[in-house]
């Protein structure tokens, strides 16, 4: 299953032109990100900033109140803003659509354990005559270093994707519902990009 997921991700990166394109389109919900701390204290402002992973293209921008302001998702390397659908042109002239779901940030000050959940309610990517469509949830959980500049996270991906051919055939590209697919990522704090 790991090989299938990797191949799908590589195809999407190749087909989607705008890589880190900005999100456009419909704003769904101003409260599409929930942020909580285990003990009810304020979210540590020192965790705010741009967190970049060492692999797979993930990038998360956290605000001082603990919300995710934007994310570059590994699937397609597309920048997503919570509550907004991103539409990105593909090399073949089509449009890939990425609609986020509810995102959650949880931090435990006692253990420095940070968890971020990024849900994508709908992803549709035309791939020539075929289409990849479905949804996913990516969960990142792990310890943040004492100086708050490194986050060692286990990334677990739960995908519900189908590849459809123009003839109407469908191939499931799902991960295991109970366990997903897990990989270790190391996020480091990086300067915020200005456009």
130/156 Cα distance (integer angstroms): 27
Give the model's pLDDT for residue 129. 83
Q: What is the pLDDT of residues 115-138, one digit of tens each?
A: 999 999 999 998 888 888 999 999
162/63 Cα distance (integer angstroms): 34
Asked whether residue 21 carries a pLDDT value surpassing 60, the answer given is: no
Between 150 and 160, the more confident residue is 150
pTM value surpassing 0.85: no
Q: Distance of alpha carbon 111 from its chain centroid, rounded?
A: 24
Q: Which two tokens stand for residue 128?
A: 């020539």
Averaged confidence pLDDT in the chain: 83
């Amino acid at each position: 299953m790991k090989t299938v997921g990797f191949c799908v991700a590589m195809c999407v990166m190749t087909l989607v032109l705008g890589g880190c394109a900005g999100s456009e389109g419909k704003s769904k919900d101003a409260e599409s990100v929930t942020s909580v701390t285990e003990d009810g204290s304020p979210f540590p402002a020192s965790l705010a900033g741009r967190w970049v992973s060492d692999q797979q293209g993930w990038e998360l921008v956290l605000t001082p109140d603990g919300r995710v302001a934007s994310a570059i998702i590994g699937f397609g390397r597309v920048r997503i803003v919570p509550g907004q659908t991103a539409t990105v042109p593909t090399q073949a002239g089509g449009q890939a659509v990425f609609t986020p779901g509810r995102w959650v940030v949880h931090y435990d000050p006692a253990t420095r354990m940070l968890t971020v959940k990024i849900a994508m309610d709908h992803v549709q990517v035309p791939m020539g005559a075929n289409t990849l469509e479905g949804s996913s949830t990516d969960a990142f959980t792990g310890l943040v270093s004492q100086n708050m500049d490194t986050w060692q996270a286990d990334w677990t991906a739960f995908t519900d994707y189908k590849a459809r051919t123009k003839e109407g055939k469908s191939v499931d590209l799902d991960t295991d519902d109970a366990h997903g697919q897990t990989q270790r990522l190391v996020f480091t704090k990086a300067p915020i990009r200005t456009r």
